[in-house]
Chains A and B, each alone.
Chain A
Amino acid sequence: MWDHEIRAMASSHAIIAASMLMATVIPAVALPGFSVYGTHLLWLYLVSGAVTAVSVAVFWLLGITPPTKKHTLGYKLSRFFRSCVYFFLSCLFFHTVVVLYGAPLIVSALETFSLAVLLTSLTTLRCLCVLGPNVQAWIRVFSRHGAMSVWDTCLQITVACTLVGAWVGAFPIPLDWDRPWQVWPVSCSLGALFGYLSGLVAAPAWIHYHRKQLIYKCK
């Protein structure tokens, strides 16, 4: 019954994935000396920027973002400002969590922060786009049966997949294989990205498979 929505979801995910791939390929062609392992931080910021821009555009065009209560410019600006603040707070939150997990506090702070920026742009940004800067709505969606629409379920799945991917990406760090992808934070960021991509693929598939059983509580 939500075929239209599932199709919209699948195509938007395809566009986001394509933008991520382009953010990898185009600089490799255009810039000399660019590589995923070598200039890793630059690549991280490029991918984050691409995902941010494309997500915001896609969700705005699809009309998923919750409508504002008032339509004054001031309100819109304050909403935008609050979104930016939440984005930054989420970056700090992820940075703290990664430091608590064992990342050095001072030595590789820039790398840790870049990883936090990536994680934020993959998870929090989507929350902001789909639900708006409304913390109550976020808590509601991430509680056990709080999804209200197909997009909420999709949000749950992609965020969970991204976080699990980043978590699994920490496994190769103690191994002494001396590979370039074991340098901090390459393995975790690659894990997060692969998690995100698999979430992008899995979410429409899962919803499509379970579309008969999904029941949403009406607001």
Chain B
Amino acid sequence: MKIRSSVFASFILIFEVIGIALFLRGFFPVPVRSSLSSKNKLSDLPAEPLTGRSPNSSRLPQPLFKRVVIMLVDAMREDFVFGPNGRMYMPYTRHVVERGSSQSFVAKARPPTVTMPRIKALTTGSIPGFIDVVMNLNSPALLEDNLIWQAKTAGKRMVFYGDDTWVRLFPKHFMEYDGTTSFFVSDYTEVDNNVTRHLDSTLKRDDWDILILHYLGLDHIGHISGPHSSLIQPKLLEMDDILKKIHSALISKEAEGSLPYLLVLCGDHGMSETGSHGGSSEPEVNTPLVLISPAFKRKVGMEKPGVVEQVDLTSTLALGLGLPISQNNVGRVIPSVLEETSLRDQLRFLHLNGHQLSCLLKDSMPDYEKEIGFEQFRVAEKAHGSWMKLYLEGNTSEVLSNMGKKVLKQYLEALAAMSSALSKQLGKYDMYSMITGMVFVFQLLLVLLLAMPEALSGAAAVDLPVLSALLSLPFYLLCLLLASVHVLVCTSAESSCYFCSLSWGLVFAAVAFSSAMFCILVSIATRRIPVGPKFRGTAPLGSSGGGGDWSLSELDVLLLAGTVGHTLSLAASSFVEEEHQTWYFLLNTLCLIVFQDVCRKYFREQSASEDEEEHILPSKDYHPSTYPKAEICSEKWLALATPLFTLVCCRLLRSLNQTGVQWAHLPDIGHWLNSSEHKMVLSLLSAFCLVLIYLLVQRRCSWVSKVALALGLLGVYSYRAAVGNVLFPWQHSSRTMSK
């Protein structure tokens, strides 16, 4: 079947896009998001479970803390606090961790360990995936249910000083704020001083409930010189002093009878060995979490800090402040924080967290009833109900407290199971859809490559053996094989798979398409590659690409090697940042080789004709070459000059604008032209270029088009003059245009 090249190309393009879309659908996991767009309200909370009688009020237990200070130090690794150098880097913190009334943990962050997703994780309790980084590039306000919104709705007064990402994510939520920009990445003193300067006055006041501080200096130092540099220690001492200041202020303000304070020291992500972050290596993922409050027992020595997930902090803070837990929260409350409260309150807190997690599970997984965690939670809830009945009857024996502890353990197991089920759903790749997508893409790519010589030839038509492929036996066998593979995979997959969820018609169409592509591929390949000498003899001379001419000239080698090399170079981050250098380089090489080809062609003919001159008899074909000699001469010079002219233009373009990361600061012509003392040069140059455009284009235009073109180009120049970039001839550069 002969198809025109344009039709063939569009057909390939559409199906490639479908293949890539299928791959991406499998690669990016569906975010675990509650389908309800509203946020959790206090009235949504479940009642305390009670078997037998109707439940009484669904009141929350008393909050644990009255005031919370969250000190978030960007890029704080856990070994800065808990490591062997911790005593030297942060002496006061280490003292509180070892001997004060505190709880310390190592909080594991999830990749991407970049600040904005981590802030989102900490406030919503959900785990943003890589797709969130892509979809929220300019960080608009956070619309999901989150801790800050809940606090604002409950009337808590919040003060924030630090990275202005928070201000952008939560506009109008803070009673008082001062967002410092993180743009100047080489400054690590001013960014923190801008936060600390408000601290003294704020700590003296009584009118706030939550104070959030976000320090960026450590992150900047990490990016500049890494975690083992000499700048780290003074910065950590500074952070330690600030913690001491806050702690002393909170202690002095502590009043008897009221709820205690809570001071949280945490990091949003760690720092790799080179000082950067973003990945999932251990130092980047492990952050310290230190909770300081008189509500905790005093420690008697350094214990190894327990490991929790970073999002566990969200539910702990929500419950500690008496707020509803945000809807998409995946973390579970940290049990040791609740140790000092009564058993009834502990069970109630765990019940609330479990209820929230089970609602989220119900909402995001189609077969939630099969989850172990869900079952365990149901069982624990029932046991809680019967414990409540016994408790309310006034039973205070040992049996009650033992039973209560058992229910507690059941709750903790259920929470752990549900939390891990929700987290696992986020990181799963849908391998089957990915593989299917890749198979499509590669098949189409190979068909495109094999049909390329035909498609680009003069006839511009591709001969696809569709009919012969569809009527052959391998096609049907392949269809059967792929269909059976599909059924096998879909019935044995334990997770949901996008490709399996498609309707049977679509799946069968995809299977048939894939098999047909494969058969067409095989037949084109056997046609192209010369299988033996008998094919050469029988192939008609006129057919394009009959036997397949496989001798590659240097140009072909360069084009192939350059394409493959460019694709491979994208594996190195430096080459991705400086990809334009790769392009310049390959383009230059291409021009030079074209030039060499042209030289060879013309100079060899010239030398060949000169060789013939040396023979005694002037041969007959010397004469015809004299006739069109003038034409050949000008054509020759044009062909020789074109690659050189292209090279010079490319070189000019390179120095016109420096881009990339490494050499972006170097001065370039664009900079020079845009400065105000060279406006005359810029005006002349742009006027010249516009006139040149007109002269080159106007040859093919009708009279009306010529006038329109001239007016259009004049309009371009006038616009630029009005904006102030260039000058009209009657203006002097000293006079500025009034707005």
* A residues adjacent to B (C-beta < 8 A): 97, 99-102, 105, 136, 139-140, 142-144, 167, 170, 173-176
Contacts and interface: CB of A to CB of B under 8 A. Distances in A.
Given A102-B654, A139-B603, A143-B600, A167 B581 contact: no
Nearest to B610: A136
Contacts of B654: 102
Given A143-B604, A174-B662, A100 B589 contact: no
A141 to B, nearest CB: 11
Given A100-B651, A101-B585, A174 B607 contact: no
Contacts of A97: 592
A154 B577 CA distance: 40
A100 B588 contact: yes
B225 interface: no
Nearest to B592: A97
Nearest to B596: A142
Given A136-B607, A140-B607, A143-B600, A102 B651 contact: yes
Interface string B562-605: 00000000001011011001101100110010000000100110
B706 to A, nearest CB: 36
Pairs of residues from A and B, 3 with the lowest C-beta to C-beta distance, nearest first? A174-B578, A175-B574, A100-B647
Interface in B641-659: 647-648, 650-651, 654-655
Nearest to A146: B604
A100 B591 CA distance: 11
B588 A101 contact: yes
A78 to B, nearest CB: 23
Contacts of A99: 651
Contacts of B647: 100
Given A142-B600, A174-B581, 16 more contacts: A99-B651, A100-B588, A100-B647, A100-B648, A100-B650, A100-B651, A101-B584, A101-B588, A102-B588, A102-B654, A105-B655, A136-B607, A173-B581, A174-B574, A174-B575, A175-B572
A16 B156 CA distance: 84
B574 A139 contact: no
Nearest to B603: A139
Contacts of B581: 102, 173-174
Contacts of B575: 174-175
Nearest to B647: A100
Contacts of A174: 574-575, 577-578, 581-582, 660, 662
Contacts of A142: 600
B88 to A, nearest CB: 30
Contacts of B603: 139, 143
29 contacts: A97-B592, A99-B651, A100-B588, A100-B647, A100-B648, A100-B650, A100-B651, A101-B585, A101-B588, A102-B581, A102-B584, A102-B585, A102-B588, A102-B654, A105-B655, A139-B604, A139-B607, A143-B604, A144-B600, A170-B585, A173-B581, A174-B574, A174-B575, A174-B581, A174-B582, A174-B660, A174-B662, A175-B572, A175-B574
A101 B585 CA distance: 6
Interface residues of B, number: 24
A185 B110 CA distance: 44
Interface of B: 572, 574-575, 577-578, 581-582, 584-585, 588-589, 592, 600, 603-604, 607, 647-648, 650-651, 654-655, 660, 662
Nearest to B572: A175
Contacts of A101: 584-585, 588
A101 B655 CA distance: 11
A170 B584 CA distance: 12
A139 B600 CA distance: 8
A105 B588 CA distance: 16
Contacts of A136: 607
Contacts of B660: 174
A142 B577 CA distance: 38
A173 B584 CA distance: 13
Given A102-B651, A139-B603, A139-B607, A167 B572 contact: no
Given A101-B588, A170-B585, A176 B648 contact: no
Nearest to A142: B600
B211 to A, nearest CB: 40
A140 B603 CA distance: 9
A153 to B, nearest CB: 17
B650 to A, nearest CB: 8
Contacts of A139: 603-604, 607
Contacts of A176: 574, 662
A99 B654 CA distance: 11
A140 B608 CA distance: 10
Nearest to A176: B574
A76 B648 CA distance: 38
A64 B650 CA distance: 41
A110 to B, nearest CB: 18
Nearest to A177: B574
A136 B608 CA distance: 11
A102 B654 CA distance: 7
A100 B647 CA distance: 7
Contacts of B655: 105
A72 B34 CA distance: 98
A136 B606 CA distance: 10
A73 to B, nearest CB: 29
Contacts of B582: 174
A115 B588 CA distance: 18
B275 to A, nearest CB: 14
Contacts of B577: 174
B541 to A, nearest CB: 25
A58 B574 CA distance: 45
A99 B644 CA distance: 13
B452 to A, nearest CB: 26
A139 B596 CA distance: 11
A167 B588 CA distance: 11
Contacts of A173: 581
A105 B662 CA distance: 19
Contacts of B650: 100
A175 B582 CA distance: 11
A33 to B, nearest CB: 29
B563 to A, nearest CB: 16
Contacts of A170: 585
A170 B582 CA distance: 10
Nearest to B591: A100
A144 B554 CA distance: 11
A29 B584 CA distance: 41
A102 B662 CA distance: 15
A173 to B, nearest CB: 8
Nearest to B582: A174
Nearest to B589: A167
A7 to B, nearest CB: 32
B94 to A, nearest CB: 36
B169 to A, nearest CB: 32
A139 B578 CA distance: 37
A99 B588 CA distance: 11
B73 to A, nearest CB: 28
Which of A144, A170, A175 has the most B CB atoms < 10 Å from its CB?
A175
Nearest to A139: B603
Contacts of A105: 655
B485 to A, nearest CB: 43
A159 to B, nearest CB: 12
Contacts of A143: 600, 603-604
A139 B650 CA distance: 27
Contacts of A144: 600
A136 B592 CA distance: 20
A17 to B, nearest CB: 28
A99 B655 CA distance: 11
A143 B608 CA distance: 12
A142 B604 CA distance: 10
Contacts of B604: 139, 143
B229 to A, nearest CB: 16
Contacts of B585: 101-102, 170
Nearest to B574: A175
A74 B663 CA distance: 53
